[in-house]
Amino acid sequence: MFGKTIKSAAALLLVSSVAFAQDGIYFNAAEGDKEHAYNTMVNEKIESTGYILSDPHERINDAYGKKYSKEPGYKITLDNLGFFSIANDDAIRPLLLKDPRLGGFSPFNLHVYKYSNENITRVGHVNPAVMLDIVGITDKELRSDFISSFKPLNEMIDAEIGGKKEILSFDKLPEKKLMEFTMTFERPEGVTKDDIIDGEFEGLDTWMADEFEAAFEDNKYIIAGFKNFAEAYRENEQEFDRYDAYVVYSLCHFYFSYGIFNHGNAQAGAFAPCSMYMYVEKGTNVLHIGMPYLENWINIAGIKDQKQIDSIRKLDKQIIEIMESLGAKLK
């Protein structure tokens, strides 16, 4: 499909941002229906690679059919479409301590899809070097450690899914790659990180649960996942003291995703759902928020349809408007 194959998985992972063609998304393209093999791998075997499955969303194509089958022009284009959010918690903990922007792809989607008119299942993810480019991380040691953490995952995909290697290449990233916000909140004297984690820090906790989530849900978004890194690390007695709070939301706009993935660009699902990270540095009263622009999808996923491009740009603007309506300031 993408017209380019590779010989070495290791070569893929060393790609960095350059001015010419870059490798954006990697897929194993295997003949036949690999749904069972994929589900077995991700549900029963993936933890042996260090990755943890946090929010599985299987067979989203079935939900599209139930919800939109009566729309004019509806067609069944997919036999399978799945978003499975994973992260290597142990590997990324020291990296998050160095640079919180890594939350823009932690967790990320181990994507699976199969078109109905092809007997090929594709399983893959965004190139980790490009993930780092999008969030703006240039530290060489951090980049090397993050990219290296993908090796056991890709070895498992090769073993369990097999097939040919396919690369979706692109020429450049957009000028604006990562949207970042800050928001100052009330922090009563004496409040500790334990108060935040235990839900006793009413200002921040209430804002997330009652205002942030409600605002997105009111605009037809789905909270497709939530990962509390700070709480998980402290429960496991792992040092994470740079932050009083660090969480990642997974956001999905279902009708938007239907308009992209069910209409010829299922490969772009490697970016879905979108990870929006939020953190509070130790002892501060500033909430930092970040999320990759959906604009990144256009070149990296090779989207040419103008209607889809317009919908991507419209959603970026809407997300910013929602965040600003909640009191966040775009950096």
Query: pLDDT value at position 28?
Result: 98
Question: Average pLDDT over the chain, rounded to whole?
Answer: 90
Residue 141 lies in domain: 13-330
For residue 243, pLDDT over 60 is answered with: yes
For residue 198, pLDDT over 60 is answered with: no
Mapped onto helix, strand or coil, the DSSP state of residue 50 is coil
Residues in Cβ contact with 94 at an 8 Å cutoff, skipping those fewer than 6 apart: 145
DSSP letter string, 131-197: HHHHHT---HHHHHHHHHTTHHHHHHHHHHT--EEEEEEES---S--EEEEEEE----TT--HHHHH
Residue 7 located in a structural domain: no
Residue 284 located in a structural domain: yes
Residue 3 located in a structural domain: no
Query: pLDDT value at position 208?
Result: 77
Buried b (16+ CB within 10 A) or exposed e, 109-123: bbbbbbbeeeebbbb
Cβ-contact 107, 126 below 8 angstroms: no
pLDDT in tens, 280-331: 999 888 999 999 999 999 999 999 999 999 999 999 999 999 999 999 999 9
CATH of the domain at 286: 3.30.310.70
Residue 117 located in a structural domain: yes
The rounded distance, in Å, linking the Cα atoms of 301 and 290 is 21
Query: pLDDT value at position 192?
Result: 58
Query: pLDDT value at position 17?
Result: 41
Residue 4 located in a structural domain: no
- Cα 39 to Cα 123, 157, 173: the distances in Å are 11, 12, 32
**% of the chain surpassing 70 pLDDT:** 88
187 confidence band (pLDDT: 50, 70, 90): low
User: In the predicted model, what is the mean pLDDT of residues 108-132?
Assistant: 98
In the chain, the number of structural domains is 1
183 confidence band (pLDDT: 50, 70, 90): very high
The rounded distance, in Å, linking the Cα atoms of 154 and 135 is 22
Cβ-contact 252, 221 below 8 angstroms: yes
Query: pLDDT value at position 207?
Result: 75
190 confidence band (pLDDT: 50, 70, 90): low
pTM score of the predicted model: 0.90
Token representation of residue 253: 């706009």
Residue 311 located in a structural domain: yes
122 confidence band (pLDDT: 50, 70, 90): very high
Cβ-contact 28, 158 below 8 angstroms: yes
For residue 202, pLDDT over 60 is answered with: no
Cβ-contact 174, 298 below 8 angstroms: yes
The whole-angstrom distance between residue 50's C-alpha and the CA centroid of its chain comes to 18
Q: How many CB atoms neighbour CB 180 within 10 A?
A: 17
Query: pLDDT value at position 203?
Result: 59
> Is 56 exposed, middle or buried, given 0-12, 13-18 or 19+ CB atoms closer than 10 A?
middle
For residue 5, pLDDT over 50 is answered with: no
Cβ-contact 251, 276 below 8 angstroms: yes
